[in-house]
Amino acid sequence: MTTSDTRDTGTILPVAAPGSVRLRRLRRTPALRELVRETQLAPDDLVLPLFLTDGHARREPVASMPGVERLTADLVAAEALAAFELGLRAVLLFGVPEEKDALGLGSFAAGGAVQRAVQVLKREVPELVVVTDVCLCEYTDHGHCGLLDERGTLLNDETLETLARIAVSHAEAGADVVAPSGMIDGMVGAIRGALDGAGHPDVAVLSYAVKYASAFYGPFRDAAGGAPAFGDRRSHQLDPANLREALREASLDVAEGADALMVKPALAYLDVVRAVRERFPELPLAAYNVSGEYAMVKAASANGWLDERAVVLEALTGIRRAGADFIVTYHAREAARWLREDSR
DSSP for 243-301 reads: SHHHHHHHHHHHHHT-SEEEEES-GGGHHHHHHHHHH-TTS-EEEEE-HHHHHHHHHHH
Q: Which distant-in-sequence residues (6+ apart) come within 8 Å of 66 by Cβ? A: 295, 298, 302
φ, ψ dihedrals at 106, nearest 5°:
-70, -10
Q: Which residue type does 164 have?
A: A
Task: Tell me whether residue 100 is one of the annotated catalytic residues.
Answer: no
**CB-based contact 159:147 (threshold 8 Å):** yes
**DSSP reduced 3-state for 117:** helix
Question: What residues form DSSP beta bridges with 159?
Answer: none
The SS3 of residue 16 is coil
Distance CA 179, CA 258 (A): 10
Residue 141 DSSP code: T
Supply φ then ψ for residue 309, to 5 degrees. Answer: -60, -50
| Residue 217, CA distances (Å) to 139, 164, 200, 211, 314 in order | 17, 25, 32, 11, 21
* Residue 122 is a catalytic residue: no
- The whole-angstrom separation of Cα 273 and Cα 261 is 10
Exactly one of 100, 122, 264, 298 is catalytic; which is it? 264
For residue 301, the one-letter residue type is: S
Nearest of 259, 255, 278 to residue 324 by alpha carbon:
278
Active site residues: 211, 264
